[in-house]
Structures are given as C-alpha cells and as structure tokens.
Chain A
C-alpha cells in the first residue's frame, strides 16, 4: 500500500522535474535585468538543486518498476497510444540527477568565474538541464528528438558564449553543423519508423516490430537513428567536432558537456536499441554486440592516444572524455545488464571526476592566464589545492578504489568475462592508463616542474608535441585574450572558495557513492529493468494480464576473491597511469616519445578542424553503419 501511495504522490514530481528548470530559465531570460547579480545566481542554483532533488526522488521511487506518466491524462485508447508519456526508470532518472548535480556545480562555480554573467548564461544552462531531464525520462521517440535538438541548440549557444575570438566561434560552428546534420538523421529515422509502424511511442514501435524480420526500411531507420545519436556521443568516426567544441567552450560549460551531453547520445542509442530494435526476429543481438564493441574499442583507443598527444589542457580533457565514451560504449555494447550497470557506474563516477578536472583547469586558467601544459611548467606554486584536485581526479579516473569508478570497472570486467571476452579488460585498462597518464603528466609538469618547458627547442618533438597542430590549434595566449572580457583570467589574488570547493565536492560525492554498500546491486537491478523490453512494453501499454515476467534478479558476483582481484586490477591501472606519466616526463625516454609522435602523426593530421572534413567523415560513418546494420539485423 505504501508503494501505491508513494507512486501516487511522486507522479506530480515527474513533470515538475522539467517544469522547474524551464520556468526558472524563462524567469532568468525575461526578468534578469530587474534582478541583482546575487539574486540571479541564487535563483539559478536553487532551481538546479531542486531539479536534482526531484530526479533523485524519481530514481528512488522508480526502482523495481517503471513509472509511467501520460501528459494531460491522454492515456491509451483501445490499446493505441494517443498521448505522450514519460517512462521513468532508475537508470534514466539517475542520468538526469547527474545532469542536475553537474549543472549545480557549474552554476556555483560561475559565481566568481565570469565577471559579467548576464541572465542569459544561466538561462541557457537551465534550459540545457531541462532538456537533459526530458531526454532521460521520455518514452516517446519524437519527444526524444526534440530534447536532442534542445540540448544541442543550447549547447551551440553556450560554446560560442565567449564570442570574442575566432577559435571558440569556429568550435561552435563545427559543433552546430555536424550535430544539426546528426539531428536531421535522427528525424528521418523517426519518420521511417513511423511509416513502418504508425506510432511514435517507443513501447508501441517495439511491440509492432517484435518478432518481425528486418526489411530495408527498418535497417535504414536503424542506421539513421543510431548514427544521429552517435554524432552526439562522439564515437569514431563521428567525433571530430568534440575536441573543437570542448577545447574552446567556457569551463563551466565543458563540465556539462563532458559529464552529461555525450553520455546522453549513448543513452539514446541503448534506449532505442533495447526498446525498439532488440525484439526483431533473427537473433540480431550477438552481431549487434560485435558492431557496438568495435566502435567502442576504436573510440577508446583513438581518444586515449590523442589525449596523450595534447599539451592544451582543455583539448586533452576533451580527448580523455572521448576515450571514456568509448569505454562506456564497450560496457553498454555488451548488451547485458551487467555491462550496462558497469557503464552506468562509470558514467556517474567519471562524470564527477572529469568535471572536477575541468573545474581545476578553470582555476589554473583564471589564475595563470594559460591552459598550455608546457607554458605552465612549474607555475603551480600557490595553487596546491587545485594540484591535489587534478591529481586525485586523474587517479580516480584510472580506477583508484574505493571511488565509484572502481566499482564500475570491476562490474565491467565481470560482464566481459561472462560474455566470453576477457581480453576487453586489457583494452580498457590500457586506454584508462594512457588517458589518465596524460593528465598526471600535465600535473607533474605544472606542479612539480618536471619534464621540459616550452623553450626546450627541438626537444619538443615528443609524444606530447602537437606537431602540425600547433599551427591550426587555438593558441592559448590568443584563446585567453578573448576571454578577458567575460572570463576573469590572469589574476593573482586568492582563489575564491566558490571555485575551489565545487571540484572537491564532486570528488567527495563520488567517493561517498563508492563507499555505499550494495551500489553494484542497485545498478545491476536498474540496468536489468532498463534492458527488459517485454517488461517495459507491458508497463507502458498496460498489457499485464499475468504474463509480466518478474524483473530478473541479476546476481552480482561479489565474492571476496573476485573483489580482491578487482582491487588489484584497479591498482595495476593506477600504477600503469603513473608509469605512462613518468615515461612522458623522463628525459631519457626522448627517443621513445619521438617514435610515438611519428607513429601517431597521421592520426593528429586527421583532426584538421575543418567542418567539411568532419561532415565527410560523418557521411562515411553513416554509410558504414548502414552496411553494418544490414549485416547485423538481416
């Protein structure tokens, strides 16, 4: 009975979690000029925190069975969906609450980061948050597209917010053009699915396709939908816009991008696969797993290698984000609840840690007016707290227990073992060690003064040398110059507490979650509910009739021996990351670094920053996906 009451009382929470940030955004946009600065900041932060709380309530309330909310009471009519629904599950609500936490941290950080944050910035962040929540909760394919576009359009505007220099503008244009084309692909896929099934509701489309053999139209719809979402998820070869956008966006915006936006793309890929395509006849699961794993491994490796080749800190973190996205795709692409559970814990833990890293880099930019690793060599004195933050962030990204990412890693490894692919563990460990090692190398150079600085002449021909990219990448001095107007930089006063504390708080949240007992079981249950197409369809369409299978309990292997092995693996990853950083900084390893730089030169050359090239890759990727989809679904 209490369960029923809980559901009844929380059903009003579902629309409120979108209405609150949207309403506050409208208030910001319309009345900000009448409000003093502190009131604007307070209202925006309060709205983000309330949204976080509401989505956390939803996550708790929807554990066990999805909550269905029909807007304006347009329920089913004779078994046909005529309204638009939200289908809230713990995984989606958890993703939404991560967006809320990061938006709150970004808004608190903004308090002293921007000199003149007008209401528009806060309004855009709140609309971004509302669209993310909508994206995570919706059960309607067209609503998913609208949320996709709303996230994208606010993100374009936020990237170009520092409109004072060509570099952020070009990043924003590349981002906007590629993601708009991705949005068009999604919309065409939606249209084709509607043409085949006559419905826009995910559950009803899935029901209509269940047991049927895929025809050409369904394959094309699959390729268009998945390709469009993968553009947002920055999976190779759709990823070229990501370093341009992340490398040039303001720091508080990078937090939202790296922690939430790209992950939303993966979320949509898996959501659409699970609810719509997984019921197709012909046993397409194993072949689809091969496709997703291939894309994930490629993305993880390319991201890690490119992260190591960067000396501009924001671009380095951008490629690190991309490498992690590949790892999440490996986890989700196993298409087992355990893999998805591991990926979700990683999304939470890494999202918090990556945001802490970006915020730490923001402090450095604010205080030292540069984000170039070599220029900043030895410049970390006086910024000890930030140095500790960045080092800790890199270590927990490498899997330092008991942070929550380490729990995610061990679940992922278990899932790979169960799927008969134990070598995935090595791929993941390698990529994590490389990308975290890049950050540790930067921390060692900036705070300990190790390695060489900018003026060491030809010795810069190393693995971290941008090579040709030094010509076409935004020079940090120039990038900072433009930000003088909006972003405070180059001050040498005390660092405001509102900039020091949010990254530490984010790391503390991740640590607290990692220490929570039973979080693996909760994640596994949430992932099992998320991947169960039959139960989802039954919940949305109300076709219970006694045939609802109970959500299968996923047994998480938590034997002491296994967890001890997991801890050892994690510590091994951390050690490997430290070794990578050490090799990258050691004076003796110049030859090795030169060889690596020469070997990866072609890869760096591909990241030309030209939007025409990026769109060409996008089209090629779509064609590849259509071919793979034909092979996997037919």
Chain B
C-alpha cells in the first residue's frame, strides 16, 4: 500500500513536469501543472495515513475507536487544494488573455510574436 502510494506520487510529479517541459499548448501546460500539484496532495495524505485508522472526526465515536489518521496532514492537503485551485484559475485567465491578444496557444509561436 505504502510503496504503491509513493510510486503514484513520484509518477504524478514526474509526468506532470515532463508535460510542462514538452508542452506545445498553454492549456495543456496548465493541466500538467495541476497534475504535478496533485502529487503533493497524495504525498501528504500518505504521510498522514495509518493502516486501519478511521477518519479524524471525533464526535459520536464508539467506546474504543482505535487509531485515527493524521488530521494535520489532511488540513495541509486541503489548503494545498485551495492554493492549487487559485493558481490554476489565474493561469487559465492569463491563457485566455494570451489567446485573445496573440491568437495562439503555442509557447514557441508566442515567443515569435513578441517582436
């Protein structure tokens, strides 16, 4: 379980970065940034995970609830989701403006329009 989760983290991050590096379309690039971002969320959840732990909700529990997963890491992941949403929204807004002004979404072509 744990090895699989860390493998997923590494895969998502690398594949996201590979996408950003090779992207020929700005929307594709923004999505790749989100993919890399999701790697950090998986990592945080995995760090806070405990096998057999229940959700960190501490109301109306049974007498012996057993261990809970780490609520701190879940809070971090939630904050990261918010940050990611803000960055993605802002990037997409910029991309819309680029398309309006330059008529292209290719970073290479965009570079050529800057003269």
Contacts and interface: CB of A to CB of B under 8 A. Distances in A.
Interface of A: 142, 146, 149, 153, 156-157, 160, 163-167, 169-170, 172-173, 176-177, 180-181, 183-184, 187-188, 190-192, 194-195, 200, 470-475, 478, 482, 608-612, 615-616, 619
A170 B86 contact: no
B94 A478 contact: no
15 contacts: A153-B90, A160-B94, A164-B101, A166-B98, A169-B94, A173-B95, A180-B33, A184-B13, A187-B44, A188-B40, A190-B76, A191-B43, A191-B73, A610-B111, A612-B20
Interface string B23-50: 1001001000100110110011001000
Closest 5 CB pairs of A and B: A166-B102, A163-B97, A195-B47, A612-B21, A149-B83
Given A610-B107, A612-B20, 20 more contacts: A142-B79, A153-B90, A156-B91, A163-B97, A165-B101, A166-B114, A169-B94, A173-B26, A176-B90, A176-B94, A184-B39, A184-B40, A200-B72, A478-B115, A482-B101, A610-B111, A611-B20, A612-B22, A612-B23, A619-B21
Nearest to B95: A173
A227 B108 CA distance: 27
Contacts of B108: 610
Contacts of B17: 181, 615, 619
A615 B21 contact: yes
Given A173-B26, A177-B20, A167 B94 contact: no
B30 to A, nearest CB: 8
Contacts of B113: 166
B114 A194 contact: no
B101 A471 contact: no
Interface residues of B, number: 40
Given A191-B76, A612-B107, A473 B114 contact: yes
Contacts of A180: 33, 37, 87
B100 to A, nearest CB: 9
A478 B115 CA distance: 8
Contacts of A183: 83
A190 B77 CA distance: 12
Given A616-B21, A619-B17, A176 B87 contact: yes
B71 interface: no
A183 B33 CA distance: 11
A475 B114 CA distance: 7
Most buried by B among A157, A177, A184, A471: A184
A157 B92 CA distance: 12
Contacts of B43: 188, 191
B45 to A, nearest CB: 10
B115 A172 contact: no
B80 A187 contact: yes
A166 B43 CA distance: 36
Most buried by A among B13, B33, B94: B94
B62 to A, nearest CB: 25
B110 interface: yes
Nearest to A248: B114
Contacts of A146: 79, 83
At the interface, is chain A mostly helix, strand, loop or mixed? helix
Interface string B64-108: 000000001100100110010011001100110110011000011
Contact of B29 (A163, A177, A191, A609): A177
Nearest to A471: B115
B105 to A, nearest CB: 11
Contact of A160 (B23, B26, B97): B97
A609 B111 contact: yes
A191 B36 contact: no
Given A142-B76, A170-B111, A180-B37, A153 B94 contact: no
A619 B15 CA distance: 13
A173 B98 contact: yes
B114 A167 contact: yes
B20 A615 contact: yes
Contacts of A615: 17, 20-21
Contact of A187 (B40, B90, B107, B111): B40
B87 A611 contact: no
Contacts of A142: 76, 79
Interface string B43-60: 110010000000000000
A331 B37 CA distance: 34
A170 B115 contact: no
A619 B20 CA distance: 11
Given A177-B33, A195-B47, A166 B101 contact: yes
B81 to A, nearest CB: 11
A173 B76 contact: no
Contacts of B73: 191, 194
Nearest to A152: B87
Contacts of A472: 111-112, 114-115
A274 B115 CA distance: 46
A156 B110 CA distance: 19
Contacts of A167: 114
Contacts of B20: 177, 181, 611-612, 615
B94 A172 contact: yes
A374 to B, nearest CB: 16
A608 B107 CA distance: 11
B28 to A, nearest CB: 12
Contacts of B87: 149, 153, 156, 176, 180
Given A166-B114, A176-B91, A615-B20, A153 B83 contact: yes
